[in-house]
Structures are given as structure tokens and as C-alpha cells.
Structure 1
């Protein structure tokens, strides 16, 4: 059941962020809220962290797909990628900017925080709060923000 929850969140986030990139930053905020809640809710900690990790990994997969697909309507892709770049360099741009690097770190931290979360009974889980901080920072940086129209006209 635990793996089903994680993979469902990954697939849902990857699909939603690829099909509707405008929802991506809100999805990152939801992942951050889930991780934040897990940091102070021991009873639901493991499930919330798995959902947060799944959403963050799904968003990361979607960002990779959008980079490879040259979706220049996203500011992140417009700034850090180019149509002439080979595939491996487009994928390397996942961590090419602050937004992508922070998202990658949030995904790693939420995954690490989810490991053994069911056994941790302390009232406040610092690992979960750290994952929440990075997820909320990634949402604030906005890797799924739209490219301003006047930038696209240049």
C-alpha cells in the first residue's frame, strides 16, 4: 500500500505538471504543506511524507519532460535551455538554475525524511521540516512560472 501511494503521487504530479504547467507551483506548495504537516503530526507522518516525496519527484519528472520538449512558455525552460542543445544538456538543466536545484534537493530530502518516518515518534520531526522548507522554497521560486509575453517576442 505504501508504494502504491508514493507511485500514484509521482504519476499524478508528473501528468498534471506536464499537461498543465501553470498548476505546477501550486502542486509544489501542496507538497511543502504535506511535509510541513508531517513534521508536527506523528500519526500521519509516514503517509504525508510519501505523498510529498511523490509529488516532488513527479514535478521533477515533468520539468525534465518540459525541458526536453522545448516548452519555452515556461520561464525556467526559456532561461536555462535551448532548442539546439543535445538531450543530455537539456536534462542537465534540471539543476541548471536555483529553481530546479531547490526542487531536486526537496525531492531528495522528502524521500530521506520518509525513510523510517513510521518509527519516529518525536513530536517534531526536523527532517520533515527541512524537506518542507525546501519544497516551499521551490514553490516560491516558481520553476513552473510562465514566461512573460514580452520575453517571447524577442
Structure 2
């Protein structure tokens, strides 16, 4: 005599497995999908030229307290560092006439990096979309607006 029929046991096991895997996970150690990371790190801006956009990115980074480490005008790439612990690389590329995609990739130095991790540089990528919006894209947008107003006067 079976107390629990085998088909009900299978249904219970499958339901339990679905329930466990369907739970939301707020663990920050879970990697953000690449597409979401790029969405967080990229914005579209209008500018009269790539040269003006790059100059505006440079001044925005300096206004935000960054020291410019490297500028590669051939690839429209700028690397800067702030407070010795935040490193940001910005690249701008044209998407339409007078329209450019700007992508920022920031990393934070972790002084107490786990010695047993695969991270040998001590830097970890900043994933927080608020960091990119508040610390870079909003100031860049304001700088581009001021640049546009100064050009039209």
C-alpha cells in the first residue's frame, strides 16, 4: 500500500524546484547581464561635432574632480581617475549626424580585496546606474547645454 502515489510525489518535487528557482534574488554578487550593464553605462547626446563633445567630456570630468590620465582622440576615448580610487573610461562614437553615443565604464579600487579572488587588479566595475547618471551623465548633459547656449550667443 502506497501512502503517497508516485505521480503526486513527482508533482511535489517539480513544484518545489520551480518554487526555489522562481524566487527573487537581491544578492548584489549576482552579475548584471551585459545588455543591462551597457544600457546603464550609455547615453545618446547631441553635439555639433565629436571634437566639441570630447572637449566637453574632458571639462565635465575635471569639474567632477577627475584627473585626466589618457586621451586618445583617434578612438575618442578618455580615461580619468578621481581620489586615487575611481577610474573611469569614456568613449564617444557617432550614431547619426550631430548625435553621439557616450559610454562610461567606471571601476572602484577595493583596498581590502579578497586575496583568494580572481581580481588581481583590486578594481571592481561600478554597476550602480545611479552612479553613472548622477556622477557623469547629468553633469555632461548640463555642460553640453551650456556649450550649446554659448555657441548660439
Task: Output the TM-score relative to the length of structure 1.
Answer: 0.29
Max Rg structure: 2
Q: Whose relative contact order is higher, 1 or 2, with alpha carbons under 8 Å and at least 6 apart?
A: 1
